Structure 1
Amino acid sequence: MNKIIFTVVLWLATYLGLQAQEFQGMAVYQSKTSTEDMKARLSGNKDLTPEMQKTIEERMKKMFEKTFILNFNKTASIYKEEEKLDTPTQGGSGGGMRFMASMAGGGGTYYKNVKEKAYTVDKEFMGKEFLIKDSLPNLKWKMEGETRVIGGYNCFKATAIRPVSKTDFRNFRPKPEDKDAKKTADALAKPADANKKTNFMDEMNLPKEQVVTAWYTPEVPVNQGPENYWGLPGLILEINDGKTVILCSKVVLNPKEKADIKASTKGKVVTQAEFDEIMIKKMEEWREMNRGRGGNGTMQIRMGGPN
């Protein structure tokens, strides 16, 4: 309890000390998502040669290991993937990989305004531009007693339970009964019954909730963090939801070059729920299209279907 009181007092003292100056900061985050479940499914897919499997695993590794930049001030922030030159895709699987990448939590500029408790993110999906505007998730953080040092900053642990996004590929799990990876892959590869139409999400195992662990530092007194994480008395330096770890590797306070922290204005304005519905509908269309071509259905969406 004394540690928590000290944390709050330190945060308030530092925050009030920054009110008189034009404060801004920048943080670099490395995001890594475990792909072991997907590798197990790949190994059980008899339609893939070892060479194809290796290529897909390499692409997945790149897709799920990314660098993001967070620029923040006292009330708002922008979070964006570090710009890199795209590597040309091979073997005609670029369309499927791009589809999968759009479901992997990347793309667009994520703007958070913690004062207004709102966010705006611009997303390009299937050749169309969307502007998602919605309220920030109200996570009920539980302050824990553990501490650790990250990048020279003293950090405190906090945990929360949050609902799982249905359109973030990183949240997909194998079904509990699918213990045999080969049987799982073969089952997914079977052609669909022409007279029986099932929902795409019926073939996915998606937990309703997930436990999120955050490490934050009161030494950087802003109510910010990566993606849509916020609400702690200090900058969040690490997020772990069991599958994805987002770790801060660098913090720069009051950089010489100030970022323009503003929300994007491009794209068709939709709520998060509306955008999720659009994505799920497209997943359905891709599955039916791939099955109609005699393909692997959902497996082709995951591993790179035809353009």
Structure 2
Amino acid sequence: MKKNISYLIMFLFILLSNFTTNAQDRSGSITYKGIVNEKFVDSFLVAYKKKDRPMSVKQDVIKAMENAKVEEFLLNFKNDESYYYKKPILEDQNYLMGSRAGTTPYYTNSSKDMIIEMSRALGNINKIPLEWEITSKTKKIGNYTCRQAKTTEKLYSRQGHFFYKDVVAWFTPDISISFGPKNYNGLPGLILQIEDREYTLTAIKINLNPSDDVKIKRIDKKDKVISEKESYRRIEEMMSDRERNMSRN
């Protein structure tokens, strides 16, 4: 009887050890496709055509919006960390409209409740985690059943005022990883799609536990990290400097 109990304890210990190891060795790379929403393009063009602009400028902007390019983004994750960034492209798109999903990379460390927006203009910004409301709606994305979650994001404009943006996320509990594109994470499952007024990001390739080591770009210890409140002040300073320079010319 004692021998059976010893075997049972040993079996449970091995099972628990394997589970812990598997939980710690999670890694993967998710590819997202970013596209401009048609409704946004339509509403933008209707409003823009009414503006007082030179016809040549109008034609260039309208052409760029109507021929907006699809962009791809990568989310690499390993254990408690993730790194999200825009996939490099070979062709020159300086004069073409992209997906409007942005180009700023993000670093996340879930064990430290850290979400860093790695802004080229403003520096490393420590983002406040979003609060999600999970609804009863579901839909399929690829082979995964996803649940809907909603949030309202508070942002600061270059004009110096706050505005709010509604965001919808579709996450799958089948992949129990709380990461997603940009600063959208913290849900009980991997986010496969993000929808806002301007763009949609959708996972098109999911590579879990790849044989190659995934690359995570971290914040250097010597790099300064600022708060969202500090980033607002920097935006105001940048706009003041720009207006001052324009008045001199």
TM-score (norm 1): 0.62
Structure 1 counterpart of 2:50, from 44, 47, 52 = 44
Which residue matches 2:76? 71
Higher strand share: 2
**2: CA distance, partners of 1:73 / 1:220:** 14
Answering whether residue 21 of structure 2 is matched by residue 20 of structure 1, we say yes
Q: What's the counterpart of residue 252 of structure 1?
A: 207
Figure out how many residues of one structure are paired with residues of the other and give that number.
Answer: 226
Inter-partner Cα distance in structure 2 for 1:287 and 1:41: 25
Structure 1's consecutive aligned runs of 4 or more residues displaced over 6 angstroms after TM superposition are: 61-64
Partner Cα separation in structure 1 for residue 81 and residue 67 of structure 2: 29
Partner of 1:264: 219
- Asked if 2 retains the 8 angstrom alpha-carbon contact of 1:74 and 1:222, the reply is no
Q: Identity across aligned pairs (percent)?
A: 23
Q: 1:149-168 to 2 correspondence within 5 Å?
A: 149-163=140-154, 165-167=155-157
Distance 1:89 1:78, change over 3 A: closer
**Which residue is 1:112 aligned to?**
108
CA RMSD, 1 decimal: 3.3
Code of the residue aligned with 2:110 in structure 1: it is: V
Q: Which residue of 1 aligns with 2:167?
A: 212
Distance 2:112 2:66 in 1: 36
- In 2 relative to 1, CA 112–211 (structure 1 residues): closer, same or farther, beyond 3 Å? same
- Distance of aligned partners of 1:271 and 1:201 in 2 relative to their CA distance in 1, 3 Å threshold: closer
Given that residues 108 and 115 in structure 2 are in contact (C-alpha distance below 8 angstroms), is that contact kept between their aligned partners in structure 1? yes
Q: Which residue of 2 aligns with 1:130?
A: 123
In structure 1, C-alpha distance between the alignment counterparts of 2:67 and 2:218, rounded to whole Å: 28
Spell out, residue by residue over 1:258-292, the C-alpha distance to the aligned partner (whole angstroms, 9 max, x if none): 22224132855422222232223323443565577
Could you state the TM-score of these two structures normalised by the residue count of structure 2? Answer: 0.74
Out of 124, 135, 143, the residue aligned to residue 134 of structure 2 is: 143
Residue ranges of structure 2 left out of the alignment (5+ in a row): 1-16
Q: State the SS of the aligned residue for 1:107.
A: coil
Which blocks of at least 5 consecutive residues in structure 1 are unaligned? 1-15, 170-199, 294-307
Aligned to 2:182: 227
| Corresponding residue number in structure 2 for 1:80 | 85
- The amino acid that maps onto 1:272 is E
Provide the rounded CA distance (Å) in 2 between the counterparts of 1:213 and 1:228.
13
| Equivalent residue letter for 1:137 | P
Cα distance change of structure 1 residues 85 and 288 upon mapping to structure 2, 3 Å threshold: farther
Asked which structure has the greater RCO (Cα within 8 Å, sep 6+), the reply is 1
- C-alpha displacement at 1:78, in angstroms? 0.3
